[in-house]
A and B are shown apart, each in its own frame.
Chain A
Amino acid sequence: MSINNNSEFKPKIVAFCCNWCSYAGADLAGSSRLTYPADVKIIRVPCSCRVNPMFILRAFEKGADGVILCGCHPGDCHYTSGNFYARRRMTLLFSMLDYIGVENGRTRVEWVSAAEGVKFSATMNSFVEKIYSLGKNVRLEDLRCKN
């Protein structure tokens, strides 16, 4: 959409992290002194499957420029199968968001285990970089009528 190359642009990025893997991974990234941009706001969820598609719509409606969901690697879910369901749901939701005009670069799912502090930091860095290159998001809140 309207790419605003204004240097003032500070993206709002929401990261949903599962309690058992990715949140611990973020913790490890912190204690390992690895850096990732402060634009990322982490929300801890019990499982990646807890993320109702509405949460993501909600984030975009409230003006998020990107949403990333992190969970345990497939097969490693603390609740056995939560991330499998999340994977299908998110695939369809992201495809739908792309369909209504939110570029697919703004949505991502990444599997980060508790031991992968390096991967967490690298993922966040690359995701934020991607959002900077995409610029400001469409105003999803205007989908039904322009405010």
Chain B
Amino acid sequence: MQELITRAKELLADGTVARVLGWKAGDLEYNPQPAFFTNEKELEEFVYNGFCGANLSKYMIEASKLEGKTLICLKPCDSYSFQQLMKEHRIDREKAYIIGVGCKGKLDIDRIKANGLKGVTGVTGAELTDDCEELCVTTLYGDKKIPYADGMLERCSVCKGKEHMICDEQIGESKDTKTGERFAKVAAVEEMSSAEKFAFFQKELSKCIRCNACRNVCPACSCRKCVFDSTKFDSAQKANVDSFEEKMFHIIRAFHVAGRCTDCGECSRVCPQGIPLHLFNRKFIKDINELYGEYQAGADIEAKAPLTSYVFEDVEPSVVAERSKS
């Protein structure tokens, strides 16, 4: 982390960048928040540790409109989102100086607490320089050590890889954290009967309080005017006291980002109700991979997006029925 701060100070000092986009300590030790830094003094607050899960690429949309370059710190998975936004012409590559930061897996405080820990006051062992094998959790009832993997975000256990898709320089080492199969849970839901599927999603989605956090954090949800903020919703109007968008919110949102979602997992990370929203996005990714060929949004800036291209020999929609029988 010190290396990162020193480098940021250097770049600020020589005028390469006008501001730094990174993370600073939040109100609690385990929730750092995205922040802009414009001078050396502010940079003292800069943090980068295992809790810096936030994907900064979306902030670059606003930063692209500002004068001068912005230094942006991207984790390997964030670089997919960054590249996808570049592809959609939402951010300006010329306005960004990218430091690819290493990642040893990001932590989820709720998962740490799920290890039977109460009164957590601090967590150590999650710095970039640590080897990230073990976490030391300080609680009101004494210290406890847990394996690092037991506190990790779900998305890190199915990591896409620790290679930066785009960056100007790299700082910090990464460590492979992949332990599971990315589509395992999606496949498990697919195996259920229709009634079970409906009950499963009804149970999960009923927790939703429509805080819109998933939409606000999503790098793919970058429309200037979101359909959910419109007074003239495409097929329902708010003035008509219609609850269509309330009920279908998650499905509509998942479809809007289908083919563009990089599976960065931010939606599930920020959900205050713990809804596994990535299951919708991954379902679309799985289908696209199976039906139209392997496609990873943000990996290749030249690749054709699956929903805005076609070939004559595409499968017919009846394939859905055929697949579920086999």
Which residues does A use to contact B, with CB under 8 Å?
1-2, 52-55, 57-58, 61, 74-75, 81, 84-85, 87-96, 98-105, 107-109, 138, 140-146
Contacts and interface: CB of A to CB of B under 8 A. Distances in A.
Interface stretch (B25-33, B50-58, B80-88, B310-318): B310-318
Contacts of B288: 92
Given A84-B314, A96-B283, A144-B208, A101 B201 contact: yes
B284 to A, nearest CB: 6
Contacts of B189: 99
A81 B201 CA distance: 35
B197 interface: yes
Contact of B247 (A90, A93, A144): A144
B179 interface: no
Interface residues of B, number: 50
Given A87-B316, A91-B320, A100-B197, A58 B244 contact: yes
Which of B251, B319, B324 counts the most chain A CB atoms within 10 A? B251
Nearest to B195: A1
Given A91-B320, A92-B258, 15 more contacts: A54-B252, A57-B244, A57-B252, A58-B244, A92-B255, A92-B288, A95-B287, A99-B197, A105-B321, A107-B317, A143-B247, A144-B202, A144-B205, A144-B250, A145-B206
B240 to A, nearest CB: 13
Contacts of B236: 58
Interface in B67-101: none
Contacts of B246: 144
Interface in B196-230: 196-202, 205-206, 208
19 contacts: A53-B252, A54-B234, A54-B252, A61-B247, A81-B310, A88-B307, A89-B307, A91-B317, A92-B258, A92-B307, A98-B324, A100-B198, A103-B194, A104-B321, A107-B317, A107-B320, A141-B247, A143-B198, A144-B247
Contacts of B202: 142-144, 146
Which of B195, B250, B321 counts the most chain A CB atoms within 10 A? B321
B291 to A, nearest CB: 6
Interface in B275-323: 280, 283-284, 287-288, 291-292, 306-308, 310, 312, 314-321
The 6 A-B pairs of least Cβ separation, nearest first, read A101-B198, A84-B310, A101-B197, A109-B317, A91-B317, A104-B321
B190 interface: yes
A55 B235 contact: yes
Q: Looking at chain A's contact residues, is the secondary structure mostly helix, strand, loop, or mixed?
A: helix
A121 B148 CA distance: 62
A66 B306 CA distance: 27
A75 to B, nearest CB: 7
B248 interface: yes
Contacts of A101: 194-201
Contacts of B312: 74-75, 84
Which of A90, A103, A109 counts the most chain B CB atoms within 10 A? A103
Contacts of B319: 91
Nearest to B205: A144
Nearest to B279: A99
Given A75-B312, A87-B310, A88-B310, A1 B284 contact: no
B201 A95 contact: no
A96 B197 contact: no
B149 interface: no
Interface string B231-261: 0001110000001101111111011001000
B310 to A, nearest CB: 4
Nearest to A105: B321
A94 B244 contact: no
A108 B317 CA distance: 7
Contacts of B307: 85, 88-89, 92
Which of A55, A95, A102 counts the most chain B CB atoms within 10 A? A95
B244 A104 contact: no
A75 B310 CA distance: 12
A99 B283 contact: yes
